[in-house]
Structure 1
């Protein structure tokens, strides 16, 4: 039953406070243990803490467009739009110094939990009889398995927090004819995260159609037109980061691979189906440590839709007892989409990579139907959800009991690598369901029911959430024990003592993304949205590049080519590094737990060549020798050879072989003799001074990006993509000052679109306000009402 909101019963801030406080209690033991510097595991440590710190520092150092500390260098907005650049939570964190960022991760997470709960309350209040029941449902959403699981990724919780407001605004636009909030929330959600917004568009389409077909939404042409306009206006206002990012990512292999054939209809492993079912009934597994399933795509996928305490009991009871309702249709469609790979991929623009990172949206509906069952016991028999929920929980025990032959020909009981973790999850889920049932029997039909259940959900959410985090955290305890010292303390100290200049660093056996703490371009980088040409360049020289860059230490020529001047390694790894690295590294200094070595064979970040090789010839060179070749000659296309190759000679066939260490040293000496006299880096690009004997191409070991422009002695010059994804600029004989400047491609278009959309939207709001005023005046005249008096 749809009912108008009652202002006296608005408990938004109560819900906000309860969820924030409960989250604080969940994190408190770890916050104390880590002395305020909360460490979790994996992506949270490697990316989220470092990204918040580095991005804060970047903005407060004057801002700009290009981050040299991101891999080989990447556009700032394009690299961090997915992670934080559009997030209101990150922008709020800018009120504090960069050095505070690691200590603010938990307070920011608590705020996100609070915002998520508040938004869920706003949306759910419309569908509940009592405000306290909406508070209960909102707490279930805030502490759902999806939210708790995605603390690991941190910025995913931003999406969970903001989505309910979008759904609330859609309902308000239809039911109350409220104009404006929907467009604003569309813009905010798109700005917050373009990747998740694609899935939100799909879900809102499902939600809207089901609500119309079920008769919940009464849509006329005027309402539909308003929704269409606000959708477009919201997208226009929120596309500030989306357009530049889409232009950047269009060549990223992670987003350009699409499902086809059997992959559209069936998952390759039957375990995927069992894992999906498991994710609805059990608390989530650690992201990197699946409890049961070892086949299929399980890790890192955010595959969980667990509701704290109640599990699937309320959802199953509702779906079994109610027929033809909008919410049942929505959940049915979502279940089908989860089970069909092609439909699942619709939430990610048909990308072939499997993710379940859209489950938070049906989770909100699941919370609502659970509350409906509690409030309408005459329509929903909860026993019809209790029995199948218990049956599924018990059925999964078969995986712990089935006999299994081992690799050595013996036998064991169960197929699980972590049976103790399964039984912990099983116990948590079972206790939750039974506790919920006991509380239901004790307090149903009494005013105390929502309060008792809310308290139980919050306590249960804190406990199972803390256990979930503890499993992921303590499994990495020994590995992460030096993180604080090496990254936060020693890394920041090295940023102060390393010499100024244009060069890169490398690190050996350090924690991920040390370069962000040192504020230097680092060959070892963990970021999946860097400049696409980085992902193009590395595989051509035999270096795997998926979500991270990690060239092996023996790639000496690659380090010379890419201007690596220093390598950093833990003190206890010095002997190991010296053994593997070679004689061209000499000890430089030690800072705390980190030792620094200087590369005697490094090149400045601008130099020229006397020879070239064609792209076709380059492809014939074995991958393991290509980095050596790139120190000897530049790789050009046939068109580039014809236009710009006049100052270069063609490498002979004999010179396209012989790639040993001695020849590398000779080639390195040649490049150093033809190198720039100075190179300066800044947040917009670089400036190089170089003297040339002949007109030729000046090479920059910088990832090519269409956003770069170049001037030579103040005159515009073309920027060429050479050597498998790096850059070159033509220059004349004599002294040359070359300026490479990065302008985020598409940003001017997106800013113009956002500004125009905002102006048009403002005009729309004015028209809506006038229409409302005119409508009220007409009603007053019709029913002889006194016109509203102006406020004193």
Structure 2
């Protein structure tokens, strides 16, 4: 019992060590921002998505609702944000605090994630490490590995690495010790946290289970396998609340249906991809948006880093050489093969051909386990392994020295993008290798081995983490200098000026991304990955590339009328370049501290009727740049819709679609405005409108079509039509009529039912386990796990460990004399 108490205390020690180091890592940068009165800002996605998304979702959840107008052209809230925050336990910790605090809480919450990750890794690793202090060390290695430092940029990517070790530890507890009841809870938490990462976790858990069973670390009987299967099903059911609605949405998203073909399954299209994967194990990571060594392949934004501070992969290599049949060795080798084969790599992402390395944290956790075991094995050839790591690390210098020529044919040295930045990364990485070599040379067989190694890992993690954060953050310093002022501070000032009496959309010229989120208004310039699927269907048909961004060019002026854009925000520093565009129909309306606000004189309010319709063939015959103009003149209908609604509209002739210039666009805007609805009101669950037409007609709304919408006209259910390749229209009768569109997240009720059923089954399961436990309470229970399962060496190596000596090491991590006695008994 005393030993168990000490292990529990080491969990919290690991937690606070990681928390303290993370705080030390972020504090200087927070103070630099705070000196300007700003919250911590980083770069790229962290600023553009994470900060505004977390503030917005915090407020939206408290207000209730189902439909987010501020998300692009409008999107279902659950489907849009379950990927980013809605399932995260870290997000729900902040829900009790005001949404305006969220930007200030981002750095503290990151510190918490690092602490949870490190202590969770320790929780899993302590089973496999004979010396619990090495499990603490390995937990710190995992928390501050290159993968996690890299993914500060994405913020919410840190949630999955933080939670995953707990699920893996629960799996071990069930499979080895027969401890029941924990695994379903962690499965549910991981699934609820993020479905994208859980898909990879499920694949890795299968790989882990098979390797552990095949190497006899898991004493699986048919009964225990049945228990694991039952707990997996219960956990998946309990965590399905967001999975069902998200799955229904993703099936309609073209970005998620992108399989490989032919050689794409077998080899990467660029040889540099292989080199990048290899060197990600030896060099600290670049900033996510920079690639110094390689300019080919798919490298940016991919989370490709398998770097461990100080020890690198040296201890893992030594372990794999010595323990060839250990399951960790098998898992790491298979993971390397998966990383090098595109089709296998994509298994962790539902066979999608888009390249990502966002599953590396799982084999990195296993690598940390192998590292902990090798570091305490006196017979492991750590020196030879570190020498090999040194050779590969030093070889990276060739990329900065190889002869090359620039665009003008002049001689230059190296192929790296930035020499100074490369040498900084290279120098820090070499320093880590040298530091480990010095520790092995002078301290490995001394009583100071562990404290020196621990201090080196913590100090070096601070050093390389600071360098990485500085490269990522301060390279964007001037670009983001006005970020806080032009978003967080100025949002209220802009909203006080803009009218609130009617619905309209915004445009943004050279503004920071996602101004619509800060203002809680729909903006056609939007950066978000999981918007309503039919937005991704509509935009490409009118000349707009929609991947993770909605950015209609300003030359596509007719889209502004079609989508009811009334105002454009222009930073004062960009006013001259905006006016040089010579755009017609925009007039300066208002001014704020940082912005000039221009009003669209061709604004058409939301909801209007047409006189003409066009066919798909007519639409496709028009140049993409002019299709927005055509859609202002005639609505696009399918053949079936023409048969149904052809009596309400007239077919437009090809000749009438030939003149699509600006003057005709102005005329069409006037016609659509004259045929507009009487009123339009947006709310957090859809919208309502009032019409008063002389006769029945088809009314168009530039809202993305979604199966979650239902509509009533004068209280009677009405059919919603998908028109214009992704937007909506509805038939309205003549005379006064009231329309109500209500959005209900498709599949959310089903997901809730499945989740509640899973929770009910889990509760019954726990009651059964409790009853069994009470009946067996008086029966003797083995106090120890069989040595062949809990030792860090297999049964066949037990003679070697019987001869090994555990050196006493002072300090608070040192084992007590009683523990040493117990350990000697185990070895003998």
Partner in structure 1 of residue 726 of structure 2: 725
Partner in structure 2 of residue 363 of structure 1: 364
Deviation of 1:5 after TM superposition, in Å, equals 7.4
- Aligned to 1:646, the other structure's residue is in SS state coil
**Residues 65, 76 of structure 1: 8 Å contact kept:** yes
Deviation of 1:447 after TM superposition, in Å, equals 4.6
Indicate yes or no: 2:153 matched with 1:152. Answer: yes
Deviation of 1:17 after TM superposition, in Å, equals 0.7
Unmatched tracts of structure 2, length 5 or more: 782-828
Matches within 5 A, 1:34-433: 34-35=33-34, 37-60=39-62, 62-378=63-379, 380-433=380-433
**Residues 316, 384 of structure 1: 8 Å contact kept:** no
Partner in structure 1 of residue 18 of structure 2: 19
Matches within 5 A, 1:470-549: 470-500=470-500, 501-549=502-550
Q: Deviations over 1:691-746 (max 9, x none)?
A: 11221211100011111110111111111100111001111111111111111111
Partner in structure 1 of residue 807 of structure 2: none
CA RMSD of aligned residues (A): 1.5
- Aligned to 1:479, the other structure's residue is in SS state coil
**Residues 689, 738 of structure 2: 8 Å contact kept:** yes
Q: Aligned partners of 2:90, 2:495: CA distance in 1, in Å? A: 27
Q: Aligned partners of 1:9, 1:352: CA distance in 2, in Å? A: 43
**Residues 497, 590 of structure 2: 8 Å contact kept:** no
**Residues 303, 359 of structure 1: 8 Å contact kept:** yes
Q: Deviations over 1:541-564 (max 9, x none)?
A: 001111100111222210010000
- Aligned to 1:404, the other structure's residue is in SS state strand
Q: Aligned partners of 1:208, 1:228: CA distance in 2, in Å? A: 12
Q: Aligned partners of 2:643, 2:777: CA distance in 1, in Å? A: 74
Deviation of 1:589 after TM superposition, in Å, equals 1.1
**Residues 608, 673 of structure 2: 8 Å contact kept:** yes
Partner in structure 2 of residue 33 of structure 1: 32
Partner in structure 1 of residue 6 of structure 2: 8
Q: Aligned partners of 1:388, 1:582: CA distance in 2, in Å? A: 62
Matches within 5 A, 1:656-735: 656-735=657-736
Q: Aligned partners of 1:573, 1:434: CA distance in 2, in Å? A: 49
**Residues 539, 545 of structure 1: 8 Å contact kept:** yes
Deviation of 1:182 after TM superposition, in Å, equals 0.7
Deviation of 1:676 after TM superposition, in Å, equals 1.1
**Residues 346, 355 of structure 2: 8 Å contact kept:** yes
Partner in structure 1 of residue 573 of structure 2: 572
Q: Aligned partners of 1:275, 1:162: CA distance in 2, in Å? A: 27
Partner in structure 1 of residue 809 of structure 2: none
Q: Aligned partners of 2:773, 2:68: CA distance in 1, in Å? A: 49
**TM-score of the pair, normalised by structure 1:** 0.96
Partner in structure 1 of residue 797 of structure 2: none
Q: Number of paired residues?
A: 776
Deviation of 1:493 after TM superposition, in Å, equals 2.3
Change (3 A) 1:236 1:5: farther
**Residues 554, 581 of structure 1: 8 Å contact kept:** no
Q: Aligned partners of 2:436, 2:104: CA distance in 1, in Å? A: 36
Unmatched tracts of structure 1, length 5 or more: 781-792
Deviation of 1:133 after TM superposition, in Å, equals 1.2
Partner in structure 1 of residue 771 of structure 2: 770
Matches within 5 A, 1:754-769: 754-769=755-770
Q: Aligned partners of 2:3, 2:449: CA distance in 1, in Å? A: 21
**Residues 282, 429 of structure 2: 8 Å contact kept:** yes
- Aligned to 2:217, the other structure's residue is in SS state coil
Q: Aligned partners of 2:687, 2:444: CA distance in 1, in Å? A: 69
**Residues 703, 725 of structure 1: 8 Å contact kept:** yes
Q: Aligned partners of 1:604, 1:762: CA distance in 2, in Å? A: 53
Deviation of 1:4 after TM superposition, in Å, equals 12
Matches within 5 A, 1:552-571: 552-571=553-572
**Residues 5, 125 of structure 1: 8 Å contact kept:** no
Q: Aligned partners of 2:2, 2:549: CA distance in 1, in Å? A: 51
Q: Aligned partners of 1:452, 1:171: CA distance in 2, in Å? A: 31
Q: Aligned partners of 1:580, 1:434: CA distance in 2, in Å? A: 56
**TM-score of the pair, normalised by structure 2:** 0.92
- Aligned to 2:245, the other structure's residue is in SS state helix
Partner in structure 2 of residue 786 of structure 1: none
Partner in structure 2 of residue 456 of structure 1: 456
Q: Deviations over 1:346-387 (max 9, x none)?
A: 000000000000000011111111111111122x11123111
Partner in structure 1 of residue 594 of structure 2: 593
**Residues 513, 526 of structure 1: 8 Å contact kept:** yes
- Aligned to 2:41, the other structure's residue is in SS state coil
